[in-house]
């Protein structure tokens, strides 16, 4: 993916091009690229598409004063939802939002953060997770999930993966991203509601995703990866982005 301003500075996203005042540095672009957070935009899109598909196949049911009425999402509403999400969650807009968030981090912390993100361990983390994201909708991924549910791994492995999720805040991020999609649908489709336990489902899916992404990673290395998220600079980045979603 090409980056505007990757070799210099770039002004903040401004749809009306009126008095742009913020310039983002090459360092800030590098941090955004290395962080892996850009993929959240795709997660929001996938969530919306899946919820819309589910509502089309199995309409949500809401109780009115006289009857239980199915709530379906029609084509016009589908288009309106996509348009609303694009305003905040297209890849380009989300990138600019991330840059604005990183811009609030002090320069000294940015430098230390980029040093952490440049380490081989973090690069390996990104490679594993991006590879898993690319296969998330493949038959191979589905087959792995089926086997994982049929033959759960040892309790010690579960604890390591749960620790990784807790330290990284991965599922918390995904829940925030899905909440954005749910909000967009709810604003366009009167009476529509997600399933009651959607947050629990999101956490479970994140754990399963992590099992897949790190399926070939030894326990000792996985423990080391989990602890790497405790670095002060990494925590600053994750907290800043979480608060900005």
* Residue 29 pLDDT > 70: yes
Q: What is the pTM of this model?
A: 0.81
Would you state the pLDDT for residue 185? 92
Would you state the pLDDT for residue 88? 86
* Residue 11 pLDDT > 60: no
* CA distance linking residue 180 with residue 241, whole number of Å: 14
Percent of the chain with pLDDT strictly greater than 90: 67
Look at residue 3 and tell me if it is in a domain: no
Would you state the pLDDT for residue 75? 85
Would you state the pLDDT for residue 21? 63
Where in the sequence is the domain holding 71, given as residue range(s)? 10-244
Look at residue 234 and tell me if it is in a domain: yes
CA atoms within 13 A on the CB side of 42: 9
Residue keyed to tokens 């049911």: 61
pLDDT digits (tens, 9 = 90+) for 30-72: 999 999 999 999 889 889 988 888 777 655 544 444 344 557 8
How many domains are there within the chain? 1
* Residue 12 pLDDT > 60: no
Would you state the pLDDT for residue 53? 84
* Residue 20 pLDDT > 70: no
Mean pLDDT of 109-134: 94
Look at residue 17 and tell me if it is in a domain: yes
Would you state the pLDDT for residue 22? 81
pLDDT digits (tens, 9 = 90+) for 194-209: 888 999 999 999 999 9
Would you state the pLDDT for residue 69? 52
Look at residue 5 and tell me if it is in a domain: no
Would you state the pLDDT for residue 65? 40
Look at residue 1 and tell me if it is in a domain: no
* Residue 19 pLDDT > 80: no
Mean pLDDT of 215-225: 96
Would you state the pLDDT for residue 30? 97
pLDDT digits (tens, 9 = 90+) for 142-184: 999 999 999 999 999 999 999 999 999 999 999 999 999 999 9
Look at residue 195 and tell me if it is in a domain: yes
Look at residue 2 and tell me if it is in a domain: no
Q: Give the burial class of 106: count Cβ atoms within 10 A of its Cβ; 0-12 exposed, 13-18 middle, 19 or more buried.
A: exposed
Q: Which tokens sit at 194?
A: 């997600």
The overall average pLDDT reported for the chain is 86
Percent of the chain with pLDDT strictly greater than 70: 85
* Residue 112 pLDDT > 70: yes
Look at residue 202 and tell me if it is in a domain: yes
């Amino acid at each position: 993916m090409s980056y505007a301003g990757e070799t210099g500075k770039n002004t903040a996203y401004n749809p009306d091009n009126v008095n742009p005042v913020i310039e983002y540095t090459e360092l800030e672009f590098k941090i955004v690229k290395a962080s892996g957070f850009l993929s959240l935009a795709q997660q929001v899109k996938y969530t919306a598409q899946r919820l819309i598909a589910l509502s089309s196949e199995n309409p949500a049911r809401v109780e009115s004063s006289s009857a239980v009425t199915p709530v379906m999402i029609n084509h016009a509403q589908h288009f309106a939802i996509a348009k609303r999400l694009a305003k905040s969650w297209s890849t380009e807009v989300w990138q600019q939002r991330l840059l604005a968030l990183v811009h609030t981090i002090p320069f000294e912390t940015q430098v230390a953060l980029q040093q952490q993100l440049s380490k081989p361990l973090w690069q390996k983390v990104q490679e594993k997770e991006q590879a898993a994201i690319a296969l998330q909708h493949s038959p191979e991924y589905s087959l792995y999930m089926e086997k994982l549910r049929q033959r759960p791994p040892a309790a010690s492995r579960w604890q390591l993966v749960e620790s990784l999720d807790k330290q990284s805040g991965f599922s918390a991020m995904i829940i925030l991203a899905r909440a954005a999609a749910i909000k967009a649908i709810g604003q366009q489709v009167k009476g529509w509601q997600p399933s009651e336990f959607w947050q629990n489902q999101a956490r479970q899916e994140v754990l399963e995703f992590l099992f897949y992404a790190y399926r070939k990673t030894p326990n000792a290395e996985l423990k080391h990866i989990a602890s790497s998220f405790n670095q002060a600079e990494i925590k600053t980045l994750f907290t800043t982005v979480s608060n900005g979603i």
